[in-house]
Amino acid sequence: MTDSTPALAIRARDLLFAWPGKALVIEIEQFSVARGERVFLRGPSGSGKSTLLGLLGGVLTPARGEVSLLGIEISALSASARDRFRGEHLGFIFQMFNLIPYLSVLENVLLPAGFSPARAARVGGDLQAEGRRLLAALGLGASDLLGRPVTELSIGQQQRVAAARALLGKPEIIVADEPTSSLDHDAREDFLQLLMSECRTQGSTLLFVSHDTSLGHLFDRVVSLGDLNRAGRT
Amino acid sequence: MKTLLLALRSLRNRRTTALLTISAIAISVALLLGVEKMRTAAREGFANTVSGVDLIVGARSGQLNLLLYSVFRVGDATANVSWQSYQKIARHPDVEWTIPISLGDSYRGFRVMGTTDQYFEHYRFAGERKMVFAAGRPFTDLYDAVIGADVAQQLGCKASSKIIIAHGLGNVSFAQHEDKPFTVVGVLERTGTPIDRTVHVGLEAITAIHIDWQSGMQALPGGRVSAEEARARDLTPESITAFMVGMRSKVMTFTMQRAINEYRQEPLLAIIPGVALTQLWNLVGIADTALMIVAAFVVLAGLLGMLTAILTSLNERRREMAILRSVGARPRHVFTLLVAETGMLASAGVAAGVAICYSLIFAGKPLLERRFGIFLDPGGLTGYDFAILGTIIVSALLIGVLPAWRAYRNTLSDGLTIRV
């Protein structure tokens, strides 16, 4: 179970995946991300991006091969152990509609703590204060914002709330799936700067998935999913 | 715990649909509970039509027939009981009292019953309740009458009203005992039993008004006996329709019943009212069982409405489920979330239904008592009621497994993909 190189945050090897009755969507020989590294994964829609994130998030199990996160081979874990692992060590930010509409801003940020006691414990001390601190760090310090229904926020604000939620409890890996594609150009870079600086503070690894290469220069490394994934290539 | 809170918040977010669903369940539960309460009240009211009477004796016919005409004033006796037989049984050392009953005439659709003051003394209904006079007193004079509450109300009679009894039972009878009018001397309180629809007169009065009648016709004017002349005659009846018996010791009831049924001089039938009432209820009780079944189906419809509402909401909530998954919720959390929702909707519906039912009972109680003589005792929820309500909630939870299962499956296949 324990990987020989725990310095890697993400390691996928000989990964094969196909939806039942369909052609292969993922065939990856080797993909790894070092701890603390910020990687830009470039993938147009239809490149198997969602499936790869499902495999890395432990929601899907590969037909063959292994996925190891933080030195743990999660593809060998039981479904509920993978769910626990995800809640504890991973933070997700999606393209849009990241928030539960019936919860307040702060409640949305604190959501992971409710499902993962370990992550709540890592916050140590006052959960609410940590939630507020993260929101403030991401530029949402105004107190009147916290109690408001999330549906009243702008998309940019919603994405920052989602980022604060992903960062809560210092998960080792942050996976962001097109988090900026519904933002305009200035807001995009702004958001990314805030996200990256917070990741650096927390020591989190960032896997940023996007089809928009204009942001690639801000990252340590740019990887093209098209080069990585041999499935679907003719 | 966290999941229950989420379920509650999620429902609040969809409060219009949730409230409508709860209302549908509440109305169906109120109906079911109301039917059950009415059923209990009706059954008790029915069983309480007569009490304190150990045996009812009449000419040999059927048990139900005898019960129907002697207690419910429905149908006719096939034959009478001779005065001699009646006297013989009435004087039996084990018999404490008897109430003779003579039926056959009517007053504007209400039956006239000849009896004695023993009737007011010993007849009981609804457990230990005695007849109470709303106005006036029992009959003392030959031509006195005591009327039930319905007679008084529907015909506008009161104490001192004069009434003329018709011969036979038709609503419109051509043969009237107009030469011997009666004076109403008493009006009884409402009892919720057939007493309310009865005109009571003395046993001798029945003899008196028929003294100059033969084979259903009054004698020609020359042979008639006036009301005053009748007073001088011997008014002991030759026969009565039936009589009720109170035993000195309840233990002797069965022995007496057998003795009467085997009485050689005359074919008689003695019945125990409680047994006969139960038998009758088993016949008419089918109707309320049917009503109960209908109410149960209404509840089922309410629950299916809830199922529809939740299933419809599932698709638009796939995103919500994926978000929950991404922050560490397991499929079983999603499952619990949905089952908890149905549980909350059903529980709220049941609680509201109980509240509606009780409000209606309290609001309608005076009317039911006054108009229909149904004594609806709201009481608390009985063990049976709790069993019904519990069954509804458990059924809801079972129904909730379906959307929960669907959401669970969606969750597994959607993974973290947020489908919009």
Q: How distant is the alpha carbon of residue B163 from its chain centre?
A: 31
Q: Which residues of B touch A94 (CB under 8 A)?
A: 323, 326, 416, 418
Last residue of a domain, one of B271, B305, B322: B271
A80 touching chain B per CB within 8 A: yes
CB contact under 8 A, B328 and A119: yes
Q: Which two tokens stand for residue A163?
A: 């980022």
Q: How far apart are CA B163 and CA B157, in angstroms?
A: 9
For residue B23, tell me if it sits in a domain.
Answer: yes
B416 touching chain A per CB within 8 A: yes
Domain extent for B214: 55-271
The total number of structural domains that make up chain B? 2
Q: Which two tokens stand for residue B383?
A: 């063990």
Residue A94 sits at φ, ψ, to 5 deg, of -105, 175
Residue B329 and residue B304 share a domain: yes
Residue B127 and residue B6 share a domain: no
Residue A213 sits at φ, ψ, to 5 deg, of -75, -10
B420 touching chain A per CB within 8 A: yes
**Per-residue model confidence (pLDDT) at position A190:** 83
For residue B408, tell me if it sits in a domain.
Answer: yes
Residue B108 and residue B179 share a domain: yes
Q: Which two tokens stand for residue B303?
A: 């629950």
For residue B279, tell me if it sits in a domain.
Answer: no
Q: How far apart are CA A51 and CA B161, in angstroms?
A: 95
Residue B28 and residue B138 share a domain: no
Residues of chain B with pLDDT under 70: 1, 170-174, 215-216, 370-375, 413, 415-420
Residue B315 and residue B188 share a domain: no
Cβ atoms of A171 and A119 within 8 Å: the answer is: yes
Last residue of a domain, one of B271, B306, B326: B271
Q: Which helix (H) or strand (E) holds A11?
A: strand A8-18
Residue type, B24: A
For residue B349, tell me if it sits in a domain.
Answer: yes
B305 CA to chain A: closest CA distance, Å? 23
B334 CA to chain A: closest CA distance, Å? 12
B324 touching chain A per CB within 8 A: yes
CB contact under 8 A, A79 and B325: no
Q: Which helix (H) or strand (E) holds B186?
A: strand B182-188
A189 touching chain B per CB within 8 A: no
> Whole-model pTM?
0.71
For residue B276, tell me if it sits in a domain.
Answer: no
ipTM of this predicted structure = 0.82
For residue B337, tell me if it sits in a domain.
Answer: yes
Residues of chain A with pLDDT under 70: 1-6, 143, 232-234
**Per-residue model confidence (pLDDT) at position A157:** 85
Residue B173 sits at φ, ψ, to 5 deg, of -120, 135
Report how many Cβ contacts below 8 Å link chain A to chain B.
73
Percentage, residues of chain B above pLDDT 90:
32
Residue B196 and residue B251 share a domain: yes
Residue B265 and residue B142 share a domain: yes
Q: B121 Cβ partners below 8 Å, 6+ apart?
A: B97
Residue B89 and residue B24 share a domain: no
For strand B242-247 and strand B55-59, is the pairing parallel, antiparallel, or unpaired? antiparallel
A55 CA to chain B: closest CA distance, Å? 9
For residue B372, tell me if it sits in a domain.
Answer: yes
Residue B261 and residue B130 share a domain: yes
3-state helix, strand, coil in chain A (%, to 5): 40, 25, 35
For residue B198, which of B269, B297, B132, B106 has the smallest C-alpha distance? Answer: B106
Cβ atoms of B266 and B82 within 8 Å: the answer is: yes
Q: How far apart are CA B239 and CA B237, in angstroms?
A: 5
For residue B205, tell me if it sits in a domain.
Answer: yes
Residue B309 and residue B181 share a domain: no
CB contact under 8 A, A95 and B13: no
Residue B171 and residue B104 share a domain: yes
Last residue of a domain, one of B232, B248, B271: B271
Q: pLDDT tens digits, residue range A35-93?
A: 889 999 988 777 788 788 888 888 888 888 889 899 888 888 888 888 888 888 998 88
CA torsion, points A132, A135, A137, A138, in degrees to nearest 10? 180
**Count of Cβ atoms closer than 10 Å to residue B258 Cβ:** 11
Q: Which of A84, A111, A116, A122 to mutate to test the interface with B (most CBs of B within 10 A)?
A: A111
**Per-residue model confidence (pLDDT) at position B373:** 62
Residue B255 and residue B109 share a domain: yes
Which residue from B10, B328, B415 is facing A112, i.e. has the nearest CB?
B328
- Closest residue in B to A94 (Cα) is B418
